[in-house]
Structures are given as structure tokens and as C-alpha cells.
Structure 1
Amino acid sequence: MRYLRVGPAGAERPVAAVDGRYYDLSSVTGDITGAFLAAGGVTSVAGLPDVDIAGERLGAPVARPGVVLCIGQNYAAHAAESGAAPPEVPIMFYKAPNTVVGAYDDVLIPRGAVRVDWEVELGVVIGRTARYLDSPADAAAHIAGYVVSNDVSERDFQIERSGGQWSKGKSCETFNPLGPWLVTPDEVGDPGKLRLRSRVNGEPRQDSSTADMIFGVDHLIWHLSQYTVLEPGDLINTGTPEGVALSGRFPYLADGDVVEVEIDGLGSQRSVVRNAA
């Protein structure tokens, strides 16, 4: 199953996509929320009305998460290009939930920003409360689905003005395009074997696989559950591969740039970069 939220910002309606057709879920749920996912979502679209979503805006495929948890330097090659040794335990930081926008919404360059960067990431949405899981093997039962996430970052805010914590450079308005769909695990297969790519103005930037992750999805969920309670609807960004502007190989983003990110089986995004002013 693939879940979408369709319509103007703040007035999205829930939709399911099955075999290329779209079905209105409004009679089942008011939105794609943590409560809806915790209840199991929908297993059948029989009897639900078809809808035509052509030309409509796609919002983030899950309503505003309670929390956005991010993992830093979780790809071996990205850690190397950042000049850091691979972490021995997952690096966790927070991103403001109000950064989450739709897959085709604009990304805004904040006031005073000079080093805005892209980061294609595999996003994981929690479907059941995860608290003190006994082992990584328990994690799969707590996953509602997977999603394309762009962990947009302002590196000057993140590094030079951080005060020792990365969230300043991660929490600016529009800094987490999400979607287009939330894809349930049965349609994804092995999340450790997905190809991720990004492009800026049509030019390749990142091209890697989740196989390069230092800590896999199950390990991350188990690990995080030892320190915080993961609740239905929460989003985990699992890290980005090499090929970002921080590497020094590419320019940072500027007004008018077009950023495209995609993950096999999960869809693609296209965001236009605009000055916030």
C-alpha cells in the first residue's frame, strides 16, 4: 500500500494508491496520522471511491510527525568525505517537525544562510510504539513504512554556529521535503538494498545504496528505543550517502536551483530552491 496526502497545505486529504489507481480514504480516516498507522491503516480499498489527483499538490505523506529524529554520518563513504571516522554508535540529532513539507514544495534559503546543502535519505515512519526493544529483530514490527526524505542542511548554522549541536542547521523552514508516498514494508522488501540518488539542476550528485549504511534500519530503531520512546507517526531520517556540497566537490544551493532526490521503489522529489525573503 502507498499512502498520500493530497491538496493545499493545511487542507490535505488522505489517499491510497494501489496498482496505479487512487482511492479516497476520507471515509476511513481524517488524515494519515500516527493513530491511523497504529490501527493498521487499510488492508483493502474495496468499496472506496476512485479519485483523480492529476494536477493536485502532494503534501508530506504523513501528517506532522511528533518528532523527527535524524542519524548523522551513517554511510561509510559520507563519513569519510566529511573528514570523520565512522561512528561507533549512532549519532542522533533532532529536526523540528515543522520542517516537513511536500515532495514538490519549494525549499527556502533562510535569512543569513550561506551553505545550504541537500541530503537524500531513507525515511522510516513508526507504526507502533517502540520502547526498550529487546533486540534489533523486534524493530520490523514497529515500522509503518518507508519514504523518501531530503534532510536539507545549512552547514554554517550546523557547524560554525551550532554551539555543539547540529539542530540549528537542520531545523529551518521547509528543510525536510518528504514523500511523495509512504510505502508499506511489504512493498519495499529489504530496506538495506535500496539505491538512492540526488541531482542538482540535472547534474548527478549522490548515487549510492542503503547497503553502505553503517547502522541498518532495525539496529537504529532498537538503539533509539533505549533512549527515547518512538511513537506512531514519528519520522526517522537514517543518514545520507556521499556526494553532498559539504564534501567540497560541489557548490552549495542558490536561489533558482532545482534539487531532485529519489529512492528505488519509493518515488522521487523535485524541489525548487528560493530565497526566503
Structure 2
Amino acid sequence: MKICRFNENRLGLVEGDEILDVTSVADSLPPVHWPLPRGDMLIENLERLRPAFEAAKVTAQRHAVVDVELLSPVANPGKIIAAPVNYKLHLDESRADEGIHFGSHVKTIEECGVFLKATSSLVGPSEGVVISMPERRTDHEIELAVVIGRRGRNISEADALDYVAGYAIGLDITIRGPEERSYRKSLDTFSVLGPWLVTADEFGNPSNADFEIKINGESRQKANTRDLIFDARKLIAYAAQAYTLEPGDIIMTGTPEGVSSIFPGDVMKCWMDRIGTMDVKIRGNEG
């Protein structure tokens, strides 16, 4: 399945170039009361709701994908976990470019581990990215995003993919500078997820997916997830040594070489094999 959230928090299934409005399925979610449980309730119940999705398709209103506003397919992630310098060629370019490393030694992922991004930075592709510090260099970083489907801790690499609900395209936008990654990558709108969630059974092997980002039609980053240093299995196991992973948690798996600056007015066209394409517009604070 391809599951999206669109317009005013409508729930949709993506079929070809259409979105089927199946918002009524959300009525089958368990009632909640304060204090709210951790995690994303829809993601946690995806498997249980599959028959309801199929039934709702019969009478669903259809919309053209191009006519809707796409939000993040995960509404309530408990945490966004990100993997730095997880492609060898990106590590090399980070060490060579002073505009990236700012005079500091760029450690390998084995040395520095993962980091957390603020969940308040999460948006969908139609919401766009805001350049709120125009005096600073702001770069695009395209990645495979893994969405956790069930709770787990101390997960083995062998079992890691059993905990995945699905996959999406992730953009880990960053300002360059001397501050810690969690600060520079957590500005509002600096985590883009979309265009929809492709369930794990439909997506297949996360270690062999081509992807590319073009800025205003110019290819900037083009790679395959087979070149990850820590692949999806290893990242899940590594993160689960420190954190309890919960439904809706997002793991940004890292970006390849080719990172470069973006500016208001730019359009990022992101594509990933077995997921699809999303366009993300860049605007300034005033826009």
C-alpha cells in the first residue's frame, strides 16, 4: 500500500496518479485520553486496518495527486533519528569542503553515532522548506527514510526489518556552521517526509534503491542505498541499543555526495525507486 495524508488531515491511498480518500478508516482507531500514548496510532495499527482500507476503497472519493496538498504521511512521530556521513563519498566531500566541516574533523558514523532531530521540524512536501537564516549556507540532503511500525528495544540486525512499517523519501535540510547537528538540522521545515508511505511489503529490499534530487532541473545527488555504510538493518539495530523504537519513529538513513546550497525560489524534485516523485519548494521567511 501507499498511504498519504493530504489537505486538511485527510487519509488517502495512492493508486497510480490518484488518491482515494479513506479518511473514514481513522474512525476505527482506538480512542485515546490524556496522557496520550507515545507513538503514531495510525502507523501502529496499519496491519490491523488493512481490511478496512480495502473496504473503504469501494466508495472512496478520488482526487488527482497533482490537485492535493501532501502532508507528512507520519503525523505524530515520537522521534526523528538521523545518520550522519553514512555514505563514503559524502564523508570525503565533507572532509574536503570547509563550508561543510567549518574547521572541525568530520568523524565517521562509527565514531559519532546517530543524532536526533526535533519533531517540530517535520513537514510534508507541499508545505515546503523555509530559509529562515539567509545569512547561513543552507544545503539539501536527500535520503531513504525508514518508518518504524512496532515497539522494540535491543533489536538484532537479523530481525530489524520486521519492525519497519514502510519507507518514504526524506529531506534532511541543514544550515552549515559550528553548532551541533541537532541544532543545525532541526529548524522548522528542515525535515521533509513524503510523498507518501510505501509499506514494507510493497517496497521490498531497502538496500537496493536508486534515488536522485534535482534542483531547478539540475541533478545534484544521485545514488543507490547499496552504498550505505550502515544499512537500514544496522541503523535500526544501532538505534535500538539506545532508544526504545516506537510506531511512527522515523530514521533518516543518511545522504550521499553532492550536497549543495538551496535558495528561496528553488524547487527540489526528489525521486526514489518504488516510492515516486515529490516536488518541494523553497521560500524565504517572508514567503
Normalising by the smaller structure, the TM-score range is: 0.7 to 0.9
Q: CA RMSD in A?
A: 2.0
Aligned residues: 261
Amino acid in structure 1 at the alignment position of 2:125? A
Match of 1:15 among 8, 12, 27: 12
What is the CA distance between 1:31 and its match in structure 2? Answer: 10
C-alpha separation in 1, matches of 2:78 and 2:192: 16
Amino acid in structure 1 at the alignment position of 2:69? R
Residue equivalent to 2:236: 221
Residue equivalent to 2:2: 2
Amino acid in structure 2 at the alignment position of 1:76? K
Residue equivalent to 1:111: 133
C-alpha separation in 2, matches of 1:206 and 1:217: 19
CA 1:112–1:203: 2 relative to 1, 3 Å: closer
Unaligned runs of 5+ in 2: 30-38, 96-105
Residue equivalent to 2:101: none
What is the CA distance between 1:111 and its match in structure 2? Answer: 3.2
Residue equivalent to 1:256: 265
TM-score (norm 1): 0.88
C-alpha separation in 2, matches of 1:73 and 1:138: 24
CA 1:30–1:260: 2 relative to 1, 3 Å: farther
Residue equivalent to 2:276: 267
Residue equivalent to 2:82: 70
Paired residue secondary structure (1:226): helix
What is the CA distance between 1:176 and its match in structure 2? Answer: 1.4
1:38 aligns with 2:28: no
Paired residue secondary structure (1:104): helix
What is the CA distance between 1:5 and its match in structure 2? Answer: 0.5
What is the CA distance between 1:17 and its match in structure 2? Answer: 2.4
CA 1:90–1:185: 2 relative to 1, 3 Å: farther
Amino acid in structure 2 at the alignment position of 1:153? T
C-alpha separation in 1, matches of 2:2 and 2:28: 14
Match of 2:161 among 140, 164, 189: 140
Q: How does 1:1-277 map to 2 (within 5 A)?
A: 1-7=1-7, 11-18=8-15, 22-29=19-26, 34-41=40-47, 42-44=49-51, 45-48=53-56, 49-54=59-64, 55-83=67-95, 84=106, 86-88=108-110, 91-111=113-133, 113-133=135-155, 135-156=156-177, 160=178, 162=179, 165-245=180-260, 252-277=261-286
Larger deviation, residues 113-122 vs 97-106 = 97-106
Amino acid in structure 2 at the alignment position of 1:122? L
State the identity as a percent.
Answer: 36
C-alpha separation in 1, matches of 2:6 and 2:256: 30
Cα deviation digits, residues 115-157 of structure 1 (max 9, x gap): 1100000001110012112x2011111100000011011112x
C-alpha separation in 1, matches of 2:28 and 2:283: 29
Unaligned runs of 5+ in 1: 246-251
Residue equivalent to 2:34: none
Give 1 or 2: higher helix fraction. 2
TM-score (norm 2): 0.85
C-alpha separation in 2, matches of 1:275 and 1:77: 30
